[in-house]
Structure 1
């Protein structure tokens, strides 16, 4: 059974551009995979915490030597890892915050980037362990930071996500960006009009498949 993991990181709900994009993606994915399963993970409702010394100590302690307290420390991380392993594909809705990813998304990445779980140094060099997975990243930004624009150097979202997921073994990736969303804030366009061309790009991904 094909399985899709949907990760949303916007603090907004109905007005979120990135959530609108992931919803459209999921709708089309379900049509293409009528027998598929969808796992949803809303990072703003996941009680994510920064990793601390206790978390690091637990993560680097062999499983059979961990205390009950260490297992509890890693409980949420283990749940998030199980979701990643269960899914064949990932789709992430990512609003740009201050030229980078939202804080909750960074917290999630810190929870799932675990030695021996999603990467290893078994032979002295890093090796990603999330193999055979596909990742689609739906990015929303207030300004336009596309390659070739004057603001392109300020886009730290795509390079960061490409590097992190590549490090974890996810190299089959697609990045789709809805830039210029600030026009919605200033009343220069409406939500449906703004989203429509980006919805068409998403739909084209499934037509091509």
Structure 2
């Protein structure tokens, strides 16, 4: 039995293609792995605050010096980090906004990329602590960006996940979704076909 952690980051609840892909992936995954436990965190329904001085205080100050707000910020970060630590498989649903990821997803990453918890500093540089996990990143894109210098999404997420020790990462892109009928149909069909293979 494995634990899946699914992170939804689309700003839209209705009409979201990334949510559609996530739903299809989970149906197929559950059919193939019926005993797996699935946790879904929706960053649009329950936004994570952006990194601020309160959270930094919760991380860095001794516990007996925390304000009530710092305690609450630390507790929230701990919850998000614990979900990630417990997961064997991470699924990130990440529509492309302005060539990169939604700010909600960046805020989540800022809560879980934590020194001493998900990575550590060593004499030879930082070392990820979340080895042995897999990640699937489901992206939706209005244009076609894979491999181009306008894609700041896949390189950033690969680097961020590798930084915490997750190197087994597969990207499934649905591209060309705003380029007209044929491009939309082809981009979505290719993504769904790949989802079926990996699930």
The answer to whether the Cα contact below 8 Å between 1:58 and 1:66 also exists between their aligned partners in 2 is no
- 2:189 — aligned with what? 196
Structure 1: stretches of 5+ with no match in the other structure = none
Q: Is the contact made by 2:177 and 2:184 (CA closer than 8 Å) also made in structure 1?
A: no
Q: Is it true that 1:98 corresponds to 2:98 in the alignment?
A: yes
**What are the within-5 Å matches in structure 2 for residues 1-209 of structure 1?**
1-61=1-61, 65=64, 67=66, 69=68, 70-123=70-123, 125-147=125-147, 152-183=148-179, 188=181, 195-206=188-199
The 1:192/1:37 distance shift into structure 2, 3 A limit, reads farther
- The more displaced of 159-168 and 27-36 is 27-36
State the Cα distance separating 1:13 from its structure 2 match. Answer: 2.1
The alignment partner of 2:7 has SS state of strand
Shift of 1:204: 1.3
Q: 1:170-192: per-residue Cα shift (whole Å, max 9, x none)? A: 00100111111114xx6x36977
Kept in 1, the 8 Å contact 2:176–2:184? The answer is no
CA distance in 2, matches of 1:33, 1:68: 44
Range moving further from structure 2, 9-18 or 172-181: 9-18
Distance 1:193 1:146, change over 3 A: closer
Count of aligned positions: 198
Q: Which runs of 5 or more residues in structure 2 are unaligned?
A: none
CA distance in 2, matches of 1:191, 1:143: 10
Deviation at 1:122, TM superposition (A): 4.5
CA distance in 2, matches of 1:86, 1:31: 22
CA distance in 2: counterparts of 1:56 and 1:123, whole angstroms? 24
The alpha-carbon deviation at position 203 of structure 1 amounts to 0.6
Give the 3-state SS of the residue equivalent to 1:155 in structure 2: coil
Distance (Å, rounded) in 1 between the aligned partners of 2:153 and 2:47: 23
Partner of 1:71, secondary structure, is: helix
TM-score for the superposition, normalised by structure 1: 0.87
Deviation at 1:125, TM superposition (A): 2.0
Alignment partners' CA distance in 1, 2:43 and 2:34: 26
